Structure 1
Amino acid sequence: MVFEIIGSFIAIVLFLFAYTKLKMIREHETYIYYEGADSISSYSSHEDGSAG
């Protein structure tokens, strides 16, 4: 009984830890992606000679 409670508690803690880790990584990746897309679009607009 006690072992089951401890096991479930550990599982919940591990799940929360992995979830927050994934969330941080995902936010970081999207930030980099948007920054890269932004620089590419501004670069192409400068190439055309038209002000973006």
Structure 2
Amino acid sequence: MYFLMSNSYPNVIHTHVQRQYQNLKNYCAASTKQSYEIEKVILATSQ
């Protein structure tokens, strides 16, 4: 029983890490887009 549990344990961690990584990528993409929008507004208002 313990062997089965320890065997599937790395899979659980791997899935969790992948999900976290995906969230991080999405977050970075969103904030990059946001800062790009802000930059456009600043450029537009400064002219």
Q: TM-score, normalised by structure 2?
A: 0.71
Q: Which letter does structure 1 place at the counterpart of 2:15?
A: L
Deviation at 1:14, TM superposition (A): 2.9
The structure whose Rg is larger is: 1
Residue 18 (structure 1) aligned with residue 11 (structure 2): yes
Aligned residues between the structures: 43
Unaligned runs of 5+ in 2: none
Query: Relative contact order: is structure 1 or structure 2 higher (C-alpha 8 Å, sep ≥ 6)?
Result: 1
CA distance in 1, matches of 2:4, 2:33: 43
- What's the RMSD between the two structures over aligned residues? 1.5
Aligned structure 1 segments of 4 or more residues deviating by more than 2 angstroms = 8-11
Cα distance in 1 for residues equivalent to 2:6 and 2:19 = 20
Quick one: which amino acid aligns to residue 45 of structure 1? I
Provide the TM-score with structure 1 as the length reference: 0.66
Q: Higher helix share goes to which structure?
A: 2
In structure 1, the gaps of 5 or more residues are 1-7
The CA distance in 2 between the partners of 1:10 and 1:24, in whole Å, is 22
